[in-house]
Structure 1
Amino acid sequence: MKPTIYDVAKAAGVSIATVSKVINNTGRISEKTRKLVLNIMKEMNYQPSVVASALTGKSTYTIGLMIPDLANPFFSGLARSIEDHAHVLGYNIVICSTDYEPDKEAKYISLLLQKSVDGIILASGFENIDAVKELIKQKVPLAILAREIPSLEVDTVAIDDCLGGYQAASHLIGLGHKKIAIIARDLWSNRERMRGYRLALDEAGISYGKEVEYVRESNVESGKQLAEKLLRSEDPPTAIFACNDLLAVGAIQAARERGMSVPADLSIVGFDNTVWASAIDPPLTTVAQPIRDMGTQVMNLLVQEINGQKKYKQRIMLLPELVVRGSTAKHG
């Protein structure tokens, strides 16, 4: 038999009202009591009655999460971190993978609203700004994750992508590289990473890599194809900064097929610090995003918005961190 709110209250030695306040993240409750109730809910695998809530016109305890690509380990990791914290807060997550397609984005938004979700999280890669404006107009609780939309007042959790790009390029410059190419997709996050990359090159007086060709897909094959083209050019790079780990893996494959050694002949830096980074040979130097913290922060913001606990929208900017492994080495 599934546990009920009564079972949770009895096990915690508190009232049903207190459990309800913890689930809804409302009211004045000590941190000790809140943690006790949350832990018992987790141990008992307690789930709030979504159907009953929906029938009474109350919260369905369901959040819609829209991400561009579940096959990318960064997004699957992000979804997992959100789902884990949502469970602790008493919410369920409905995941929609949009494949970076505006039509799918609009379709899934409509579907989520029909399902009466309590709020929506839009993750990196979401470019349908008109749809975001419409959600804000309809006063749908909303949070943006892993990207920014500075022109709109909306709760946001992101990392400093520009700083991450700067860290990646600066690392390669510090190793003596002057011919540093970049592999990126024409997305907000990648454009910001490119901006940081160019800032580092400008500071070092390096003009190489100013002309950029974007990849069409953010996957291994696209990274491989563009890296092959770069390495066949008249003035090939000695280092490549790829704007995600999948593109970086593709660049490593391209180098190997040309008989090049990584990092002896070509240094490569990725971005995201996914499982690929430590699984590939050599292990990938990459810029880490704090995935667990991002998921926790965005869920907290959205639940506060759902419960009417916030007067103002918040922008939380987290810092990236360069993780140096075996894919980069000194040049010359």
Structure 2
Amino acid sequence: MQHPNGGKRVTLLDISKRTGYSLTAVSRALRNMSDIGPEATSHIQQVAKEMGYVANQTAVALRYGRTNIITVIVVNLTNPYFSIITNLIQLAAYNMGYSLVIVCSRDDPGLEQQLVEQAIARRSDGVLIFPSHSSGKSIEMLENAHIPFVLLSSMLPPYQTDSVIIDDEQGGYIAGMHLVEAGCRNVAFLATSNSAPSYAPRCKGFLRACDEAGINTENRHLFTVNYEENLSDQNKGISLNVLLPKLKHEGIEGLFVFCDVEAWRLMAFLQRSGQFSINDFKIVSFDNIDSVLLSPIPLCSVDCSLEYMAQRSIELLRSRIQGDDRPPQTIICPVKMICRNSCHSAK
């Protein structure tokens, strides 16, 4: 079928000629302005739809100073945690009239800075960024460009910025107490990196639980783990081939793993090893991905209120876009333990 405008992009002038209304009336009807009658608005919008009209967002941005586009910078899209939270952010943003551009920094500071430059260049109204330990330069770029932005999941001291964060310390505490309540007296915290912004507060909470439970310092352990099998590069952490015999030898019963994806990798290795079983350790983790994506291995995990994080982050960013100049706000998302008995609790 031939395009109603001969294959050319449909303009407001084309709609004006087809309907007989002025350019001003067409423009205001397409924006549902109240000074255009309902019958005229309906007719103009129907004709625009039939002609295949799509608003020129670049022109709209130039006219009104806003693009209604928010850029979201995540660290790792292969981790379901980020897929889940960006999906929730997209829903919240759509309900407030915004579209998203979702990009991935791959935890690379140079790439992250390029993505920030692109967000500024495309005139994004605002930016949501999941920071890494090296995001300082990106934050400074956004501040210098006067682009509203909000940090998600974690803060990044010493920068004083708007943040919607997980209560990581409390999450680490309830993870540690969950192991204690399951009968553990010799426990370990495993993570692939001790430089992630969430690591220090989760570790602090875990150690606080150990203090309250009276677990001796020699029975609380911190390990940086390399989940690449058959490797033992100490710069990247201890491989599981080396770590697991060590855990058994030292009588460690309970494991708090930094996040669900890492816990799944650990549990899959245990199942395939032929030497160990997932029943050899009581395991808890963080993120509660199972609430959205059911895994074949049930896992006790700290829920961090992702829907609440998504909603509040968009609300906070929108307020800044609209001119709210209050001092930086920090919104803390509550946490709770969801038990699926990977702790092998006797309860």
Residue 195 of structure 1 aligns with which residue? 204
Q: What CA distance in whole angstroms lies between the structure 2 residues aligned with 1:126 and 1:109? A: 16
Residue 293 of structure 1 aligns with which residue? 308
Q: Go from structure 1 to structure 2 and tell me whether the alpha carbon gap of 1:160 and 1:5 turns closer, same or farther (over 3 Å shift).
A: farther
Residue 241 of structure 1 aligns with which residue? 256
| Preserved CA contact (<8 Å) 2:188 2:221 | no
Q: Secondary structure at the match of 2:252?
A: coil
| Preserved CA contact (<8 Å) 2:152 2:163 | yes
Q: What CA distance in whole angstroms lies between the structure 2 residues aligned with 1:84 and 1:4? A: 27
Write out per-residue CA displacement over residues 104-147 of structure 1, whole angstroms, 9 at most, x where no aligned residue: 11111111111111111111436321321232233211111000
Q: Go from structure 1 to structure 2 and tell me whether the alpha carbon gap of 1:73 and 1:124 turns closer, same or farther (over 3 Å shift).
A: farther
Write out per-residue CA displacement over residues 272-328 of structure 1, whole angstroms, 9 at most, x where no aligned residue: 011488633441100011111111110111111011034222110111110000211
Residue type of the partner of 2:223? E
Residue correspondences, number = 297
Is 1:309 the counterpart of 2:324 in the alignment? yes
Q: Percent identity?
A: 25
| Preserved CA contact (<8 Å) 2:284 2:299 | yes
1:77 to 69, 77, 84: 84
Residue 223 of structure 2 aligns with which residue? 213
TM alignment of 1:25-40, pairs within 5 A: none
Q: Go from structure 1 to structure 2 and tell me whether the alpha carbon gap of 1:267 and 1:49 turns closer, same or farther (over 3 Å shift).
A: farther
Residue 104 of structure 1 aligns with which residue? 111
Q: Go from structure 1 to structure 2 and tell me whether the alpha carbon gap of 1:124 and 1:210 turns closer, same or farther (over 3 Å shift).
A: farther
Q: What CA distance in whole angstroms lies between the structure 2 residues aligned with 1:5 and 1:261? A: 67
Q: Secondary structure at the match of 2:278?
A: coil
Q: TM-score, normalization: structure 1?
A: 0.79
| Preserved CA contact (<8 Å) 1:125 1:188 | yes
Is 1:262 the counterpart of 2:278 in the alignment? yes
Q: What CA distance in whole angstroms lies between the structure 2 residues aligned with 1:157 and 1:48? A: 33
Structure 1 residue 218: Cα displacement? 11
Query: Quick check: which has more Rg, 1 or 2?
Result: 2
Q: What CA distance in whole angstroms lies between the structure 2 residues aligned with 1:147 and 1:162? A: 11
Structure 1 residue 266: Cα displacement? 1.3
Residue type of the partner of 2:286? F
Q: What CA distance in whole angstroms lies between the structure 2 residues aligned with 1:311 and 1:218? A: 46
| Preserved CA contact (<8 Å) 2:187 2:220 | no
Q: What CA distance in whole angstroms lies between the structure 2 residues aligned with 1:307 and 1:91? A: 13
Is 1:231 the counterpart of 2:244 in the alignment? yes
Write out per-residue CA displacement over residues 212-264 of structure 1, whole angstroms, 9 at most, x where no aligned residue: 33246899x9999744433211314212111100111112123222444434x
1:274 to 275, 283, 289: 289
Q: Secondary structure at the match of 2:110?
A: helix
Q: Secondary structure at the match of 1:143?
A: strand
1:152 to 141, 148, 159: 159
Q: What CA distance in whole angstroms lies between the structure 2 residues aligned with 1:217 and 1:67? A: 22
TM alignment of 1:312-331, pairs within 5 A: 312-330=327-345
Residue type of the partner of 1:274? I
Write out per-residue CA displacement over residues 170-217 of structure 1, whole angstroms, 9 at most, x where no aligned residue: 010111111211111220112211111111112222224655332468
Runs of at least 5 residues in structure 2 that lack an aligned partner in the other structure: 5-9, 11-25, 37-53
| Preserved CA contact (<8 Å) 2:93 2:100 | yes
Residue type of the partner of 1:319? P
| Preserved CA contact (<8 Å) 2:74 2:105 | yes
1:204 to 203, 213, 224: 213
Residue 34 of structure 1 aligns with which residue? none
| Preserved CA contact (<8 Å) 2:187 2:221 | no
| Preserved CA contact (<8 Å) 2:224 2:238 | no
Q: Secondary structure at the match of 1:52?
A: helix
Q: What CA distance in whole angstroms lies between the structure 1 residues aligned with 2:198 and 2:317? A: 22
Q: Go from structure 1 to structure 2 and tell me whether the alpha carbon gap of 1:276 and 1:266 turns closer, same or farther (over 3 Å shift).
A: farther
Q: What CA distance in whole angstroms lies between the structure 1 residues aligned with 2:219 and 2:239? A: 13
| Preserved CA contact (<8 Å) 2:303 2:337 | yes
Residue 75 of structure 2 aligns with which residue? 68
Q: What CA distance in whole angstroms lies between the structure 2 residues aligned with 1:258 and 1:49? A: 61
Q: Secondary structure at the match of 2:180?
A: helix
Q: What CA distance in whole angstroms lies between the structure 1 residues aligned with 2:160 and 2:342? A: 40
Q: Go from structure 1 to structure 2 and tell me whether the alpha carbon gap of 1:276 and 1:313 turns closer, same or farther (over 3 Å shift).
A: closer
Residue type of the partner of 1:130? K
Runs of at least 5 residues in structure 1 that lack an aligned partner in the other structure: 17-46
Structure 1 residue 271: Cα displacement? 0.7
Q: Go from structure 1 to structure 2 and tell me whether the alpha carbon gap of 1:157 and 1:109 turns closer, same or farther (over 3 Å shift).
A: same
